[in-house]
Amino acid sequence: MVYRTDYHIHTTFSDGKAAPEEYIEAAIAAGISELGYSEHLSLFREDQNWCMNPDNVATYIEYIDNLRRNTKDLIVKTGLEVDFIPGKGKEIGSFLDKYDLDYRIGSVHYLGEKTVDLGPEFYEGKSFDTLFESYFNNVTDAVSSGLFDIIGHLDLIRIFGYKPTMDPEPLYRKLAKVMKESDIVFELNTNGRNRPLADFYPDRRYLHIFSEEQVPVCINSDAHTPARVGQYFDEAYKLLKETGFTEKAVFTKRKRKMIRL
């Protein structure tokens, strides 16, 4: 059987709908060998009820450590999905350095003070081309910050199905090159299938660029409920193989290893 990992899971520690232990059985049923939790953490943004309170990070890590000790049938990993806030890299780094994680997912949800994934209202009266480019600029800064092991949903700005009028290919190419230089992993995030976009992140038309530039990949569900762990993975694996990928990244204590896809 293929060794599958799913490193992007949200539980009631942030905006997920079930407790961490409730995901174990679903993960085993979905053929997952390593299940990694990655609660939302947004420093420098107040009153975000979709995020974990930064004061709870230590408790969360201890909770997952306990779960790992009590789980026999799969390997449990501890991660965080951390918002990259431009200009705050140093502070985010000092905060994260206090904690022992298997991996850090760096994600861009914010453009300015608002998140791009909350609702289509965000896009009203704005130029989508400009937003698209700003989003890629922020993701590029997140990559170059050196804070993260994995970049989450690198083109989340597509969530509502809007399309730029310009050709976005050069932006994907530029980002892929920076990712390679920075030695960072991107995720094929299957959760976009459940959003208005109705497809994976990143855009499958540009996946070949990441393969050509030899950016390492991992496959994540971004599940917020147990039923969605490992969702659409058969299709995701097939797509990656067809695009030329042969390996995927696994992490332990922030050390990366590449294993067969």
User: Interface mask (CB under 5 A) for Zn ion, residues 119-158, using x and -?
Assistant: ---------------------------------x------
Q: Cα(172)–Cα(207) distance, rounded to whole angstroms?
A: 9
Closest to Zn ion by CB, 43 vs 208, is 43
Indicate whether 83 belongs to the interface with Zn ion (CB under 5 A). Answer: no
Please, what is the minimum distance in Å from the beta carbon of residue 139 to Zn ion? 12
Among 5, 42, 78, 107, binds Zn ion (CB under 5 A): 107
Closest to Zn ion by CB, 152 vs 202, is 152
Within 10 Å of residue 6's Cβ, how many Cβ atoms? Answer: 30
Within 10 Å of residue 199's Cβ, how many Cβ atoms? Answer: 15
Give me the helices (H) in the chain, please.
Answer: 24-29, 57-69, 89-96, 128-144, 169-181, 207-212, 233-242
Both tokens of 4, joined, read: 């599958």
Within 10 Å of residue 159's Cβ, how many Cβ atoms? Answer: 21
Q: Please tell me whether residue 27 adopts helix, strand or coil conformation.
A: helix
- Using CB under 5 A as the binding rule, the residues of this chain from 18 to 77 that contact Zn ion are none
Please, what is the minimum distance in Å from the beta carbon of residue 33 to Zn ion? 20
Q: Cα(105)–Cα(251) distance, rounded to whole angstroms?
A: 11
Q: Cα(205)–Cα(85) distance, rounded to whole angstroms?
A: 28
- Using CB under 5 A as the binding rule, the residues of this chain from 183 to 212 that contact Zn ion are none
Closest to Zn ion by CB, 199 vs 241, is 199
Q: Cα(176)–Cα(60) distance, rounded to whole angstroms?
A: 32
Closest to Zn ion by CB, 107 vs 138, is 107
Please, what is the minimum distance in Å from the beta carbon of residue 80 to Zn ion? 10
Indicate whether 222 belongs to the interface with Zn ion (CB under 5 A). Answer: yes
By CB under 5 A, which span of 80-88, 173-181, 192-200, 227-235 interacts with Zn ion? 80-88
Closest to Zn ion by CB, 49 vs 165, is 49
What residue ranges bind Zn ion (CB under 5 A)?
81, 107, 152, 222
